Amino acid sequence: MKFTEDHEWLKTEGDVVIVGITEHASEQLGDVVFVELPDVGDTVEKGDEICVIESVKAASDILAPLGGEIVEINEDLADNPGLVNEDPLGKAWFFKMKLADASALDGFMDEAAYKDFIG
Partner 1 sequence: MSELKRTPLYDLHLELGAKMVPFAGYEMPVQYPLGVMKEHLHTRAKAGLFDVSHMGQVIVPGEGAAEAFEALVPVSLMGLKEGRQRYAMFTDENGGILDDLMVANRGDHLFVVVNAACKEDDIAHMRAHLESVEELTDRALLALQGPAAEGVLEALVPGTAKMRFMDVGVYHWNGTELWISRSGYTGEDGYEISVPADRAVEFARKLLADEAVEPIGLGARDSLRLEAGLCLYGHDIDTTTTPVEGNIAWAIQKVRRKGGEREGGFPGADRILSELENGPSRLRLGLRPEGRAPMREGVEIFAEAEGGDPIGRVTSGGFGPSIEAPMAMAYLPAGTEEGTTVYGEVRGKRLPAKVVPMPFRPATYKR
Residues of this chain that interact with partner 1 (CB under 8 A) are 30-31, 33-34, 36, 52, 54, 56-59, 78, 81
In whole angstroms, the minimum distance from the beta carbon of 119 to partner 1 comes to 16
SS3 of residue 98 by DSSP: strand
Q: Of the two residues 34 and 117, which places its CB atom closer to partner 1 in the complex?
A: 34
Please tell me the distance from the alpha carbon of residue 93 to that of residue 89, in angstroms, as a whole number. 7
In whole angstroms, the minimum distance from the beta carbon of 7 to partner 1 comes to 18
Q: What does the angle CA 37 – CA 16 – CA 101 come to, to the nearest 5 degrees?
A: 105
In whole angstroms, the minimum distance from the beta carbon of 37 to partner 1 comes to 12
Please tell me the distance from the alpha carbon of residue 117 to that of residue 5, in angstroms, as a whole number. 8
